Amino acid sequence: MKFGIEFVPQQPLSEIVELVKLAEDVGFEYTWITDHYNNKNVYAALALIADATETIKLGPGVTNPYVRSPAISASAIATIDEISEGRATFGIGPGDKATFDALGIEWTKPVSTIRSAIADINTLLAGEKTEGGAALGGVKAVQEKIPIYMGAQGPKMLETAGEIADGVLINASNPKDYEAAMPMIKKGIENAGGSKDFDVGAYTATSIGADSDAAKNAARIVAAFIAAGSPAPVLERHGLPEGINEKIGACLGKGDFGGAIGLVDDAVLDAFSVCGTPDEFIPKIEGLAEMGVTQYVAGSPVGKDVKESIKLLGDVIASF
C-alpha cells in the first residue's frame, strides 16, 4: 500500500511545507495539494514543497481543465518536475460546477474536455506540438513521463481514468465505494488494451488520534459535508436512511453545524470517513486494499492535532 496526504493551501504555506516535510520523514510517498480558485495558488505551494523536500512525490490533487489551458498546466507541472528533480505527479479532475458558476466559466462536456486536456498535456510534456500549434519550448520535464491521475467519481469519469490515466483519486473512504468503482476502472483499462500499472487512490476523509472518540468527533463535520453532497444511490450503497443527505444539507445550509454534526452518527461517519486510533485504522485500510485500493490518501481533517496525527499515521505506514 502506498500512502499519500492531502493539504488544502489555505493556512500559511510555510506551515504546509513543514507538515509535508514531517509527512516525508514518517514515510508518506505522495502529497496532493488541492486546487480551488479561492485558496492559495496550487503551483506556488508545490514549488515551495518541492524545494524543501527530497523524496516525496507531489502534485495538484486535483486541478481541472477549465481554469487553466492544458499548455499552462503542462508548463506548470514541468516546472515543478524540474524544481523537485523528477518527483512531480499531476492530478486533474472535472472540477465542480459551483466553482465554474462563480467564475462565469461554462462547464461543458467534462468527460471529453478532460480527455482532450490530458492528450494535449501528454503531447506537450513529450516535447511535441499540439494540433493547435502549442509547444513547450523553454521548459522540459525531468521525468520521461509525469504520471497523470484523474480525480473521478462518476461512472464515465472512472472508466475514462482507467483508459487514459496512470491512476485515479476517488473522493471516497469506504470499501463499498471501491467495490462499485473497480469494474468501471477495469473496463477503461480493457478499452486501453488490457493490463497496465494503475494506481487506485482512496482520497479519504481521515481523522486519526490516540483517543478514538476525539478522532471521530473531529471528522463529523467533514462527513456531514460529504454526506450532504452524496446522491441517493450512494446513501443506499451504505445502508443509510433515505433523505439523510437533505436533512444534513438543510442544517449546513442555514449554518446549523451543531445540528448537522448531530445527524452524523457512526454509520454516516463510517460511510464517509476513516477515523479512530492507529489500531482501528489498520483493518480499515486493509479493507480498502481488499477492494483494489493501492494508495491510501489521508485527506482533511487528518486529525484534531495534524502534527500528532501525521506521526500516528507514520506508525500505521510502518505496519504495512
Ligand X SMILES: C[C@H](OP(=O)(O)OC[C@@H](O)[C@@H](O)[C@@H](O)Cn1c2nc(=O)[nH]c(=O)c-2cc2ccc(O)cc21)C(=O)N[C@@H](CCC(=O)N[C@@H](CCC(=O)O)C(=O)O)C(=O)O
Could you list the residues that contact ligand X (CB under 6 A)?
34-36, 61-62, 64, 93-96, 99, 109-112, 151-157, 169-171, 203
Which DSSP letter does residue 319 get? T
Total Cβ atoms within 10 A of residue 41 = 14
Question: Which residue is nearest to ligand X, using beta carbons?
Answer: 154
Min CB(45)–ligand X separation in Å: 12
Please state at what angle helix 110-125 crosses helix 70-83, rounded to 10 degrees: 50
Min CB(170)–ligand X separation in Å: 5
DSSP states along 162-216: HHH-SEEEE---SHHHHHHHHHHHHHHHHHTTS----EEEEEEEEEE-SSHHHHH
Strands (E), 72-128: 90-92
Closest CB to ligand X among 79 and 153? 153
Min CB(298)–ligand X separation in Å: 13
Closest CB to ligand X among 35 and 277? 35
Closest CB to ligand X among 200 and 316? 200
Q: Taking a C-beta distance cutoff of 8 angstroms, is the pair 312, 209 a contact? A: yes
Q: Taking a C-beta distance cutoff of 8 angstroms, is the pair 59, 46 a contact? A: yes
Closest CB to ligand X among 149 and 281? 149
Grid coordinates representing 281?
485504522
The answer for residues whose C-beta is within 8 angstroms of residue 106's C-beta and 6 or more apart is 100
Name residue, grid cell 495558488: 41
Closest CB to ligand X among 136 and 163? 163
CA atoms of 229 and 240, how far apart (whole Å): 14
Closest CB to ligand X among 126 and 192? 192
Grid coordinates representing 206?
481521515
Closest CB to ligand X among 64 and 207? 64
Min CB(282)–ligand X separation in Å: 23
CA atoms of 184 and 136, how far apart (whole Å): 34
Min CB(263)–ligand X separation in Å: 23
CA atoms of 248 and 229, how far apart (whole Å): 9
Closest CB to ligand X among 136 and 158? 158
Min CB(132)–ligand X separation in Å: 19
Min CB(114)–ligand X separation in Å: 8
CA atoms of 70 and 78, how far apart (whole Å): 12
Tell me the residue length of the chain: 320
Min CB(115)–ligand X separation in Å: 8
